[in-house]
Amino acid sequence: MNSDLLNVLACPRDHTGLRLEKGRLCCAQGHSYPIANGVPVFLLGDKEQTIGIASASLQAAENDVGGPFYFETLGIPKDQQQEVIRNWSEKAKVDPVISRLLVATCGLGYTNMVGKLTDYPIPDIPIDHGAGELLLDVGSNWCRWSVSAARKGWRVIAIDPSLGALMAARRAFAKEGLDISYVCGDARFLPFKENAFKCVFSYSVFQHLSETDASVAISEVARILRQDGFSKIQMAHKGGLRSTYIRTRADYKDGGIFRVRYWSLDAMRRVFQSRVGPTRLVAEAFGGLGLLTEDRRLVSARAKALIAASQVMKRLSRLLAPLILLADSVYVISTKR
């Protein structure tokens, strides 16, 4: 673990500094956290987890089992795990784990590309050049947003509850020499010092948290942002056309604990403004969630059409502000004052 990362880490329970001791990270209050193959793991076993893979990541780290792929932390079905092992090679164009994680990328747009990718679909993160400033990517998964931010000159820390996803990202992008550090943790208990980050970015993460958990995570974002730092966080809007259809279906709650939660624009603005600072909302997608221009070359024909329509609506929304009322996904942009 590099010293730059250690300098910004803090105990997620009491926010005090950490020291390396016998292969673990420890604080002055006696709290101790494992390190799995160089990745610190700050998941709290006495807290209810927001997703099942978090418990698996903590167990793998504490017992030093599951490497190098950490399948139990990935949610990859058993029958596909052997295929990942067979396809693994340091010379592979695409890491076989990331090839499987694509199912959860771009909604369901990549379903037909699982196992077929020849390169990584990295979107253009919608923030300016970082000039060496520190950015936190919350819920990074296989880190495509982290990679995009690092390519724009940010020093990136990627945090996610899936140990296996972080390890896959580290394997996949190691040769690029990007300034990315990896931390396994929970958005509600960020293991970082106060006022450490210039930017906190998150995509398709907070929308899966309950309103209570999301509010806690937003407060944590405010704590670790420095003065005049900013957050840009994607949220699902309950007033969007497709969002309204999804959340009013009879089987909506069958999606379980990790189903998408939909917020009103007023609720987003109120919570972020009260916890972080001055806040504005911009339309991110119409007709669905996770519809990115950069994905068009690889996704299904249906997803291509949705992305094209969404881009048209986004451009119109810059001219006609009320159109945001129909957006299914928005960016909430807040500045810490």
Tokens describing residue 190: 């960020």
- What homologous superfamily does CATH list for 3-335? Vaccinia Virus protein VP39 (3.40.50.150)
Element (H, E) at 34: strand 32-36
Residue of 101, 58, 65, 60 lying closest to 80 (CA atoms): 101
Q: Residue 3: which pLDDT band, with cuts at 50, 70 and 90?
A: confident
Q: Whole-angstrom Cα distance, residue 3 to residue 293?
A: 37
Residue of 236, 61, 78 lying closest to 166 (CA atoms): 61
Tell me which of 20 and 92 has the higher pLDDT: 20
Predicted confidence (pLDDT) per residue in 58-68, tens digit: 999 999 999 99
CB 224 within 8 A of CB 196: yes
Residue 123 phi, psi dihedral angles, 5° rounding:
-75, 165
Q: Whole-angstrom Cα distance, residue 185 to residue 192?
A: 10
pLDDT computed for residue 108 by the predictor: 58
Q: Residue 70: which pLDDT band, with cuts at 50, 70 and 90?
A: very high
pLDDT computed for residue 144 by the predictor: 95
Vertex 54: Cα angle to 49 and 57 (nearest 5): 150
All residues at 6 or more sequence positions from 29 whose CB lies less than 8 Å from its CB, including other chains: 11, 13, 14, 16
Q: Whole-angstrom Cα distance, residue 113 to residue 320?
A: 36
Helix (H, G, I), strand (E, B) or coil at 284: strand
- Map tokens 């957006």 to a residue: 327
- Map tokens 């944590």 to a residue: 220
CB 303 within 8 A of CB 106: yes
Q: Residue 107: which pLDDT band, with cuts at 50, 70 and 90?
A: low
